[in-house]
């Protein structure tokens, strides 16, 4: 069992500038920092709640709430026999609003900046019964999606610069489901997938499920390193490379056309499949060619509606290499039988009548002033951004560490995502945090959060004392 010393919590910034947070949040932030930094390793057992309450001279309810907060962050899990255990690496964080405590401005989730979805949905629902496809909603659908759904999906995929055959499209319940389907059809236990060293945590979660190994390589301002990919391919048998070429999550880098061609050349030379997570592609407008257009015979291209329209619209589109859609659709049939017909009809109507593009346009319009706020309030700080992107990548000045900064910030009422959440291995990564500017409920709330971030950056981190 791990002992958590009462001398070992991260000191807050100047209390005259920022109000003290509830005791349970301060305790949760302290333990979170230890988990993310590796001081508390996966499988570690936290002290019993009564023991920690006695040690800290706080109520048991304070510890209970702190542990619940850590569970909501998917950092620990409660076990009847073993108590509270630190989760294994790769666990996906909770992103639903219900898990965000009162008083916390949550800037951790890639959520659209506007609520046009609700207005449009209210207008659409009364019209559905008149749609000739309405009668199909009570029936089982093909696992790859009905023909009309795949035809509508082509319209969304076209925003990524190409229009595949509808026969090569598999409709899924969002991008994560599409990634699962692609990996299920490609990967065997023990296989290697190469990704950016900072990568989408959904890939890490699937590595735990399918027992494959992720090898991380570095990136630069043009995207994933083709040189390092080639080195790994010479050294190991690589089954696939996973990349987010458009506004990479979390670094915001959009891969150059030259780098895309270099990566494709390496993949072709070593017969490596490509998994292209292009969920942010439709937000770019003019863009470099998708990898799927450069190497269609080996690329699985993922697009989805949740980032640009609304996370509640769980619709994804997986474009498969020619002839492989039916094989990949088996993963959909095994996990969900079929994409849910009701949201699929709504999404298809919106793609056909222009509603989807209208919501996307409103989203981009709202992001512009939010980026202006970030530029003004965080003036003098180093961060990567793109006016079409819903997050920024904030690099922390020395001597801040990402885990300590995140814990301090949460204690002051703002939640951001540290670099460690995206790290695919234990190699050092830069001390930075992802700040989702689209996630705040309003520009006013975002401005408040950004001011807290700015004042915390200006403060000196207090050293962590004691032992665990």
Task: Please give the DSSP secondary-structure letter assigned to residue 247.
Answer: S
401-418 exposure pattern, b = at least 16 Cβ within 10 A, e = fewer = bbbbbbbbbbbbbbbbbb
Any idea which fold 133-353 has? 3.40.640
The SS3 assignment for 407 reads helix
| Residue among 294, 313, 310, 286 nearest 243 (CA) | 294
Residue 8 CB contacts under 8 Å (≥ 6 apart), including other chains = 30, 34, 464, 465, 466, 467, 468
Give the up-direction half-sphere exposure of residue 362: CA atoms within 13 A in the CB hemisphere: 16
Residue 375 CB contacts under 8 Å (≥ 6 apart), including other chains = 385
Report the distance separating Cα 50 and Cα 63, nearest Å: 8
| Residue among 392, 405, 387, 416 nearest 456 (CA) | 405
Give the up-direction half-sphere exposure of residue 376: CA atoms within 13 A in the CB hemisphere: 9
Task: Please give the DSSP secondary-structure letter assigned to residue 45.
Answer: B
List, run by run, the mean pLDDT of 10-residue segments along the chain (468 residues): 54 47 83 80 84 90 88 74 71 54 85 87 96 94 95 95 95 96 95 96 89 96 98 97 97 98 98 97 92 98 92 94 95 92 96 96 95 98 97 95 90 92 87 95 96 92 43
Give the up-direction half-sphere exposure of residue 424: CA atoms within 13 A in the CB hemisphere: 25
Quote the pTM value: 0.82
Domain extents for the chain?
133-353
Report the distance separating Cα 184 and Cα 193, nearest Å: 13
Q: Can you spell out the DSSP letters for 221-243? A: TTEE-HHHHHHHHHHS---EEEE
22-57 exposure pattern, b = at least 16 Cβ within 10 A, e = fewer = bbbbbbbbbbbbbbbbebbeeebebbebeebbeebe
The pLDDT value given to residue 466: 34
Task: Please give the DSSP secondary-structure letter assigned to residue 41.
Answer: -
Report the distance separating Cα 348 and Cα 28, nearest Å: 43
User: 162 and 394 in contact (C-beta within 8 Å)?
Assistant: no
């Amino acid at each position: 069992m791990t002992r958590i010393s009462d001398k070992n919590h991260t000191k807050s910034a100047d209390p005259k500038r920022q109000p003290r947070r509830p005791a349970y949040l301060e305790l949760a932030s302290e333990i979170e920092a230890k988990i993310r930094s590796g001081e508390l390793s996966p499988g570690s057992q936290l002290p019993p709640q009564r023991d920690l309450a006695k040690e800290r001279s706080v109520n048991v309810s304070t510890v209970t709430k702190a542990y619940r907060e850590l569970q909501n962050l998917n950092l620990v899990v409660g076990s009847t026999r073993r108590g509270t255990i630190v989760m294994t690496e790769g666990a996906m964080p909770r992103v639903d609003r219900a898990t965000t405590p009162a008083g916390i401005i949550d800037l951790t989730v890639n959520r659209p900046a506007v609520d046009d979805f609700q207005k449009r949905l209210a207008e659409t629902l009364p019209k559905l019964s008149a749609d000739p496809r309405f009668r199909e909603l009570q029936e089982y659908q093909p696992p790859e999606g009905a023909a009309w759904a795949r035809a509508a999906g082509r319209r969304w995929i076209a925003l990524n610069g190409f229009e595949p055959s509808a026969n090569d499209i598999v409709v899924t319940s969002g991008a994560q489901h599409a990634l699962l389907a692609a990996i299920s059809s490609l990967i065997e236990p023990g296989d290697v997938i190469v990704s950016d060293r900072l990568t989408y945590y959904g890939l890490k979660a699937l590595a735990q499920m399918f027992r494959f190994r992720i090898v991380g390589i570095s990136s630069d301002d043009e995207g994933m390193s083709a040189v390092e990919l080639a080195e790994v391919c010479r050294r190991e048998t690589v089954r696939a490379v996973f990349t987010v070429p458009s506004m990479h999550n979390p670094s915001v880098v959009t891969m150059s056309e030259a780098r895309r061609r270099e990566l494709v050349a390496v993949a072709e030379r070593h017969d490596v499949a490509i998994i292209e997570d292009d969920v942010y592609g439709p937000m770019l407008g003019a863009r470099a060619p998708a990898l799927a257009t450069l190497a269609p015979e080996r690329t699985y291209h993922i697009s989805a509606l949740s980032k640009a329209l609304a996370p509640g619209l769980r619709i994804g589109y997986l474009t498969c290499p020619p002839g492989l859609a039916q094989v990949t659709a088996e993963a959909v049939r095994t996990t969900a039988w079929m994409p849910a017909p009701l949201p699929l009809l709504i999404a298809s109507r919106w793609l056909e009548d222009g509603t989807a593009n209208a919501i996307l346009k409103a989203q981009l319009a709202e992001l512009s002033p939010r980026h202006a706020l970030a530029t003004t309030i965080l003036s003098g700080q180093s961060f990567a951004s793109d006016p079409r992107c819903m997050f920024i990548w904030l690099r922390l000045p020395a001597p801040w560490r990402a885990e300590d900064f995140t814990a301090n910030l949460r204690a002051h009422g703002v939640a951001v995502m540290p670099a460690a959440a995206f790290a695919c291995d234990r190699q050092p990564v830069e001390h930075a945090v992802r700040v989702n500017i689209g996630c705040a409920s309003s520009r006013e709330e975002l401005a408040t959060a950004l001011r807290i971030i700015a004042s915390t950056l200006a403060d000196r981190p207090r050293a962590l004392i004691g032992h665990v």
